[in-house]
Amino acid sequence: MTDYVKIFDTTLRDGEQSPGFALTSPQKVERAHQLARLGVDVIEAGFPAASPDDFAAVERIAREVRGPVIAGLARAVAADIDQCWEAIKDAQRPRIHTFLSSSDIHLEAQFNLKREQAKTRALEMVRHARGYTPDVEFSPMDATRSDWSYVCEVLEAVIDAGATTVNIADTCGFAQPDEFGMMITYIREHVGNIENATLSVHCHNDLGLAVANSLAAIRAGARQIECCVNGIGERAGNAALEELVMALTVRRDHHRVKHGINLDELVPASELLQQFTGIAVQPNKAIVGLNAFAHESGIHQDGMLKDARTYEIMSAAAIGAEGTRLVLGKHSGRHALRRRLEELGLLLTQDELNHAFAGFKSLADYKKEVTDEDLVLIAENGRRAADGVFDAIGHVYR
């Protein structure tokens, strides 16, 4: 089994299904070019049958973007597959991705289909897609709430029909990491022809486990991960591309797999998406959040100033971020204050620094973040206090 994991980006398809995240066609094309620079293996450019605008965007991406596989999504319906092919046919490496539910609750309540009927439709539509391209992906939607043995029956049938990727969708974010890993292992052991296809997963984040489930699947043998930049997507979103990639990078000793992502494009990819959607990620978002490389605790700041490895397990510069920030606030220490004052050209004696630090702490008790402008005043007051002009802790800050 190969140790390379393909990164399948569905930001332009599943990601855009997030309420409030609609992108214009030009924005989709620009994002697709950015994803190519990022080095993703597959770009799911959209759902061509969804709207004329989506069709046009997918068609333009297929014609312009080179490098990654360009995939279009289609329901297991001949008309959808036909339209999908029309949109992606000019791609350097086109893929048709078709899907049909496998869970009884979906088949009975939504599609009014019996299991055997669904399996027959799935293999027929995979054959139909193979008439256009040798690269066909099939997803049993809501697979994690399905009978595992039935999922295996469907997978074996669609692989025989020509599917080259089979994608296990945790559509409702229902799975738990240990359980999902066991499911992937079960599939590898019970689908007789699984070696003829790439085993993929697509995890949603309803319980906050999309990344954990994806990593568990990799450990169990999945070799394609479907994800979105910033973790956007339906409801609570999808597995976050940047979190998955950095988990595989930082803990390669644990996961023992490779990927082809250009790490220095991770933050630019995140920032472009935030710019286009107007929706910022939360400050404590892993990898790309504003505070991902920020430190306020005095103990942490002291360690960082001595050796960044004490409190950072990855390099901000390596992922395209500006760098570490030592935020001066009520938890900060003397070491960080001295360093920032020196960076501002304010060189204080030890006595002056002691007075300045007392004034700094007084201000930080009621101000969330002390600014550089504050520091200039604090340094001056520290000098005056050291000269006996007044107490730097006094009424100046109160």
- Of 325, 326, 301, residue with least CA distance to 311: 301
How many CB atoms lie under 10 A from the CB of residue 374?
A: 17
- Residue ranges of E strands in the chain: 6-9, 42-46, 69-75, 94-101, 136-141, 165-170, 198-203, 224-227, 294-295, 325-326
User: How many angstroms separate the CA atoms of 228 and 257, rounded?
Assistant: 20
Q: Please report the pLDDT score of residue 390 as a whole number.
A: 54
Q: Please state which architecture CATH assigns to domain 6-277.
A: Alpha-Beta Barrel (3.20)
CATH 3.20.20.70 domain position(s) in the chain: 6-277
Give pTM, 2 decimals: 0.90
User: How many angstroms separate the CA atoms of 378 and 364, rounded?
Assistant: 11
User: How many angstroms separate the CA atoms of 91 and 60, rounded?
Assistant: 9
Beta bridge partners of 202: 169, 226
The DSSP secondary-structure symbol of 107 reads: I
In three-state secondary structure terms, 75 is: strand
pLDDT truncated to tens, each residue of the chain (398 aa)?
679 999 999 999 999 988 878 899 999 999 999 999 999 999 999 999 999 999 999 999 999 999 999 999 999 999 999 999 999 999 999 999 999 999 999 999 999 999 999 999 999 999 999 999 999 999 999 999 999 999 999 999 999 999 999 999 999 999 999 999 999 999 999 999 999 999 999 999 999 999 999 999 999 999 999 999 999 999 999 999 999 999 999 999 999 999 999 999 999 999 999 999 999 999 999 999 989 999 888 889 889 889 989 999 999 999 999 888 888 888 888 888 888 889 899 899 999 899 988 888 888 888 888 888 888 999 988 899 888 765 544 444 43
User: How many angstroms separate the CA atoms of 233 and 343, rounded?
Assistant: 42
User: How many angstroms separate the CA atoms of 369 and 327, rounded?
Assistant: 7
Largest CA distance in the chain: 90
Q: Which two tokens stand for residue 304?
A: 């960082």
